[in-house]
Amino acid sequence: MTAKPLIALPACRMTADGLTFHTIGDKYVRAVAEAADALPVMLPSLADAVDPTEILARVDGIVLTGSPSNVHPEAYGAAAHEKAEPYDVARDATTLPLIRAAVARGVPLLAICRGMQELNVAFGGTLYARVHEVPGRHDHRKPEGDLDTRYGPKHRIALTPGGVLARLVGGEELWVNSLHWQGVAEPARTLAVEATAEDGTIEAMSLPDARGFVLGVQWHPEYEAAANPTSRAILGAFGEAARQYRAGLVRESV
C-alpha cells in the first residue's frame, strides 16, 4: 500500500506559567488527516535550531495555519505598533524562510488565514494590521456565538475567473467564514489574487510561477472540513498534489 504523504504544520509558540509551548489547533491536523488524506506532523517554531532545507527533504507538503497572533510589522517593512499585536516572532522566523524554500523546491503549500498573510509577506507584500479600520472595509473579525456561528458563512467572495481557486471549486462566488483582523494590503508582485470580498479585501492568492501547488485562503476551510464540499475540494487538491510530490512527479532530483 502506498504510504500517505507527510504534511508539516508549523506551530505557534506561546508562553504560559513561565513555560514555552508549541501548539496547533486540532481542526488543522484533523483536516489534513481527513480531508487531505495525509499524515500531519507538527513542526516546532525553532528557527535557530531547525534548518528548513532539512525539513523539506523529509515532507511532502506544508500547511500554514491560522493563529491568534499576527505577523510582526517589521517583517514587511513597517514599525511595530500596538494595533498589530499580539506577535509570534518565533513563528515568523520559522515560516517566512520555510515558505520561500518550499516554493523553490516545489513542495505543495496550503496557507490558511495567518498563513496566507505569511505567504504574502514572504514574497514582499504588506499587511493591514486592522482591516476593519481601513476606510471602506467591512468588519472581518469573528462574530460572537458558538463555534458553528463563529465559523459559519459570513460574507460572499468573488472568484477570479479562470483562476486556481475557481477551477478547484467551480462557480463564480463562495460564501466563507471570516475570523481575522489582519489582512493583505499590498499583494506581492509574484502572487495572483484568486478571490476578493465585496469590500475589496483579498481573500485568496496563488503563485502562478510556482513549480508545485501554492494556494492561500483568508478564511478557515479546515473547520469541519470533511463535511464541507468547498473545503474538501481545496484540501483534496492539496492532498493530491502532496501525493504526486511524494511519488516524485514534481520532486527535485538530488
Which amino acids are annotated catalytic?
113, 220, 222
Asked if residues 242 and 105 have their Cβ atoms less than 8 Å apart, the reply is no
- Grid cell 495572483 — which residue? 192
The rounded distance, in Å, linking the Cα atoms of 196 and 202 is: 5
Do residues 207 and 124 touch, judged by C-beta distance below 8 A?
no
Q: Mention every residue, 6+ apart, whose C-beta is less than 8 A from residue 100.
A: 122, 123
Q: 107, 245 in Cβ contact below 8 A? A: yes
| Location of C-alpha cell 500531519 | 40
- 9-39 as b/e: b if 16+ CB within 10 A: bbbbbbeeeeeeebebbebbbbbbbbbbebb
**Residue linked to cell 508549523:** 10
Query: Measured between alpha carbons, how far is 230 from 237 in angstroms, rounded to an integer?
Result: 11
